[in-house]
Each structure stands twice: as C-alpha cells, then as structure tokens.
Chains A and B, each alone.
Chain A
Amino acid sequence: MKPKPYVPYLLVLPALAILVAMLYPFLTGAWWSFTSYRLNRGDPSFNGGENYLDLLTTPDGLHAIGTTLFYAVTVVIIEVIAGVGLAMLLNYGPYGNAFRLLIVLPLLLPPVIAALMWKVMLTENGVVNWLLESMGQQRLLWLNGPDSALWSVILIDVWIFTPFVVLLAQAGLRSVPQELQEASAVDGAGPIRNFVSVTLPMLMPILIVIIAFRGIDSLKMFDIIYTTTKGGPVNATTNLHVLGYLEGIRNLNFGASMAALIVLWLLCYLISYFLLKARRKDSVG
C-alpha cells in the first residue's frame, strides 16, 4: 500500500483551509494591536508598542493581568485537589457510577446558564444569603462586593469545572495498576505515602493534561465573568479576556483590545507549548 505523496495533503486540505481562514483574522488582530485603531475613525495607523506599554504600565492593565493570573492559579489549585480527591473516592467507594452521574451534571450545562443560576441565588435577598442568615451568619455581597466578586466567580468556576477534573482523573486512576498499590501497602506504606509515591507518579501524564486544559480555559475565562459581573464592580473581575471585550465592543478601541488579547494568547500559548513538550517526553520515556 504505497500511497501517492500528495494523498495526505489532499486529506488535510479542508482543515488547512479553515486554519488559514482563522489565521487571517488572527494576524489582522495582531496588526491592530500595534495601531491606534478605533472603529469608524479612519484606518489603523501604526503607533509602535503604545498599546502594550499602556497595558503593562497603567494600573488598569496591570490589574487585569493580575486578575487573570490569580483567577487561573486559584481555580486550578482548587479544582485539581477537589477533582482528584473526588475521583479517588468514586473509584474507592460504593455507588461510584451513580454518584458520578450526579456530580458531573454541572459540567454539561452551558457555563453561561450555570453562571446565571448562581447569579440568581447570590442576589441580596437570594437563597444563599438566607441560608447564611438562618445559620446566624452575616449576609454577604457576593458578586456585588468589590472584595468578594472575584471569589464568587471562582466559586462558580469550581462548581462547573471540578467534574471535568473528576472525569479525567478517574480515567487516569484506572491506569494505575492495583497490584502496585497493594505491593506498596504490603511493604508498609500508609495511604498518604502510597498516594505520593505510587499513585501520583502514575497519574502525572493525565495531571499534565488536566492542568493544561483547566489552566488555559481559566486564563481565558469570559463566559462566567461577563454574565455575572461584566467585569465589575468597577474592575474587580476584569481579566484580560473581559478587558479585550470591553475595550473592543464598548470603547471601540480595537488597538487596546487586541493588545490585551495578544498578551493573553501568549500566556495560553506558553502553557500549551509546555504541555505538548511534557506529553511527548512522557510518552517516549
């Protein structure tokens, strides 16, 4: 079966066409990020790295970068710990399949819808504040408080996406041979030791995938934040993706918008690059 050399190219041609079609707006956007382009105000004119300089020196720009990183790191840490923990419990305990079906449901709703549901529950007179009051606690401002808004959004993210970690971690745990754990238990290792030196290394390949996917998706989180707070109050929940939207659609300042999005893209690209590298090393070694 000696194929003609052009066959594979012919097969990937349609996908390449899509890739090029998407590359064009991407490059256009990259060009705009170096211009002072405002919609309906003439053509883009090159202004050096001014947009980037603004982003990296003004409090608003730095705040957006900080929010992006803080959100992503916090969300990944919480979700990986909770998700791997739940996956282990599901594999260990009884009724695993039934529990999984219920636990996984939030992941299958559109994140926007899930965010709306939480917004409804977190209003001033909402059911969550009622719960707090009936337990003798103070009401909280949740999404409306400058200090609590970001944590509220993180809570929603954890609610939606922890099941994603559960599903992948469960699949990864199945590839850990039972005999290995039993062997180390026979050798006198406690459950914690067992987890650290047997389960964790075996889980590493899938953990890399989980961290990369969740990392990238939370770096570029838009849906939850925009539906619940639109980046507010003031700019408490404005990350780079939301900033890009607000600058572009609300202020029609496409130059600044694209600069924010390019910086975000660089962050995502770095992670996916390291992921692929780690994964390749993993499957070879």
Chain B
Amino acid sequence: MSTQIDNRAIPARQNRTMGHRAIVARRNRKKRVKHGIVIAVLTAWTIFALAPITWIFLMSLKTPGDIVSYPPKFIFTPTIDNYIVIFSGSEFLMPFMNSLIVTIGALLLTLVIGLPTAYALARFNFRGRENIAFGILSLRFAPELLIILPLYLIFQKVGLNDNYLGLILAYQLVTLPMLVWMLRSFIEDLPVELEEAVALDGGSRWTAFRHVLFRLIAPGLGASLMLSFIWAWNQYTLPLVLSGKNTQVITTGIQQYIAYQSIEWGPMAAATVVSMIPGILFAVFSLRWIVGGLTAGTVKG
C-alpha cells in the first residue's frame, strides 16, 4: 500500500558532499510544503464531510429551546433526554428492530441464492451464461419504483404487503445483483488449478468447493456481505412503498418525527445518530478490506 521510500533506510554514503546535502535539504523542504498543501485540502474536505454529522450529534444533546435558538448555540448544557425519548417508546425501537430483521433476512436469502449462482457463472461454461449474468445485474440498474409499484399491487393480492417475507423478497433487488457480481469476480480471480488438483486426488467438485475455494473466497465473501448489508440497511424506496404500519424500517420510520404541524428536532437528531452506528462500525472495521473487494468486484486487473 505504501510505496514511499523511507529515506533513513538508505545507508548514508560516507563521502557525501555538501552540495548533495543542500539538494536533499531543498528537496525535503519542497516536499514538506507540498505535503502541507495536501493536508490543508484534505482537512478542508474532512471538515465539510464531518460538520453535518457533528452538528446533528450536538443537536441530539440539546433541549428543544436550545435547538431553535438563533444564533445557533455551540455551547450549551447537554442533555440525554432525546435519547431517553427514542429508547423508551416503540416509535424508534420498532423500526430499528424491523430494519435488523429485514436486512439480515435479505442477506441470508441472498447468500443462499447468490453463492451457487456466482460459482456457476465463474466456473462453468454454459449457454446463456452472459445473458443470465447481465439479467441479474440489470436488476440493480432498473429504477426501483418501476418494479416496486406493480409489485405493491401484486403483494396486496397475495397478502405479502406490510410483511417481512415480502420485504425480504423485494430486497433481493438490491442485494442479489451486487453479491453475485462481486463474488463472481472473486472466484474468477482464483486459479482453477487448485480445484483441479482436488479432482486429481479423487475429490468431487463439492469437496473442492468446500475445502479449497470456500476458504479462499471467505474474505471476499465477507466484504461483499458487509457492503450488501449497508446497501440494504440504507434502502428507502422499497420500504416506502412496501412496508406498512408493522414493518416500518429505520429509514422510513425516522420521517415520523416530521409531522405536518411540528418537527420533533431533538428525537429526530437522536434517532439519526443511532441509525448511523452500523455504517460507522462498518467503516472502522472493514474499510481497508472493502477497497480490495470493490475493485475485485468491479474491475478486472
């Protein structure tokens, strides 16, 4: 990852002249100025990226009076009332739990369906393969409502409206294409010889998959699942149409705090902060992983 050469690692030459040293010093100074500019630009963007998050976090700790005061208050006595409000009623907890149920359910289904599909697309040569692959990917590229609005009426007929199973099925629209495409690339990047070696030793394709391939794709699989989790967690259009009172998820549930008459800023800010947690956890633990995963899934090196 780091291609910088550590200057100290180069053994100092004994007969280094003064002129050489001056050049090195000038180069270092130039480099330091450049680095300074780079850090300044990156810091500026970081402030832009973090300011809204910080502001909402501060807001979640304010009393209603402090929230609406103008000029805005940066120094105030923090309160955790807003968090108590959201955690003591079902207004927030129910959507949060629903989000967990639907997201995890959708991921499990995607895994069961997507893993064999990705394996077949990567390792078998069969008629219609590219068409099937493109068909699956095109789910990701279709405007969600084009499928969801008719699906809503179909679900109404078969009783899948406002229903976990219905949502989990619909979420495949988001999670399946990406998982299949990323996993397919991961598997294609692994040499077939490994599996052939197992076959030579008398093992079946299944043994080869279980003992060799599965272990090798585990990190890629983890990365793809994590990304799919975030995508499903963030989904808004699908539940907006398909979920009713009982299956409200977090993205649609948070809008409850915005009524026509008034907006409950404090609880809304607190709910916003809590709903960010999965994403932030994800960033801290697996970002480094993901960059490799994303590239493997989208471009072939």
Contact = CB atoms under 8 A, between A and B. Distances in A.
Contact of A113 (B176, B254, B299): B254
A248 B141 CA distance: 20
A11 B199 CA distance: 20
Classify the interface of chain B: helix, strand, loop or mixed.
helix
B10 interface: no
A190 B279 CA distance: 40
Contacts of A97: 288
B150 A168 contact: no
A104 B283 contact: yes
B251 A110 contact: yes
Interface residues of B, number: 94
A105 B142 contact: no
B146 A261 contact: yes
Interface in A101-117: 101-106, 108-114, 116-117
Nearest to A17: B113
A178 interface: yes
Contacts of B1: 174
Interface string A101-142: 111111011111110111011000111001000100000000
Contacts of A265: 142-143, 146
Interface string A198-217: 00000001100100010010
A1 B209 CA distance: 13
A31 to B, nearest CB: 9
Contact of A159 (B52, B143, B151, B240): B52
Given A1-B196, A18-B172, A116-B272, A12 B150 contact: no
B280 to A, nearest CB: 7
A254 interface: yes
Contacts of B28: none
A127 B254 contact: no
Contacts of B45: 82, 86, 103
B82 to A, nearest CB: 13
A12 B121 contact: yes
B144 interface: yes
A68 B72 CA distance: 35
A223 B134 CA distance: 25
B295 interface: yes
A154 interface: no
A125 B68 contact: yes
Interface residues of A, number: 96
Q: Which 7 A-B residue pairs are closest in the complex by CB-CB distance?
A: A108-B279, A93-B38, A8-B124, A11-B120, A25-B150, A171-B295, A110-B234
19 contacts: A1-B195, A12-B121, A15-B114, A19-B135, A24-B154, A28-B154, A29-B146, A86-B45, A94-B38, A102-B49, A108-B282, A109-B53, A125-B68, A171-B292, A175-B295, A213-B298, A222-B145, A222-B237, A272-B141
Given A11-B117, A112-B234, A168-B294, 17 more contacts: A9-B126, A16-B132, A29-B150, A90-B42, A93-B38, A94-B39, A103-B49, A105-B53, A108-B230, A109-B53, A111-B236, A114-B52, A117-B55, A120-B56, A120-B59, A168-B298, A227-B236
Interface of B: 1, 3, 35, 38-39, 41-42, 45-46, 48-50, 52-53, 55-56, 59, 68, 70-72, 112-114, 116-117, 119-121, 124, 126, 129, 132, 134-139, 141-151, 153-154, 169, 172-173, 176, 180, 195-196, 199, 205, 230, 233-234, 236-237, 240-241, 250-251, 254-255, 265, 268-269, 272, 275-276, 279-280, 282-284, 287-288, 290-292, 294-295, 298-301
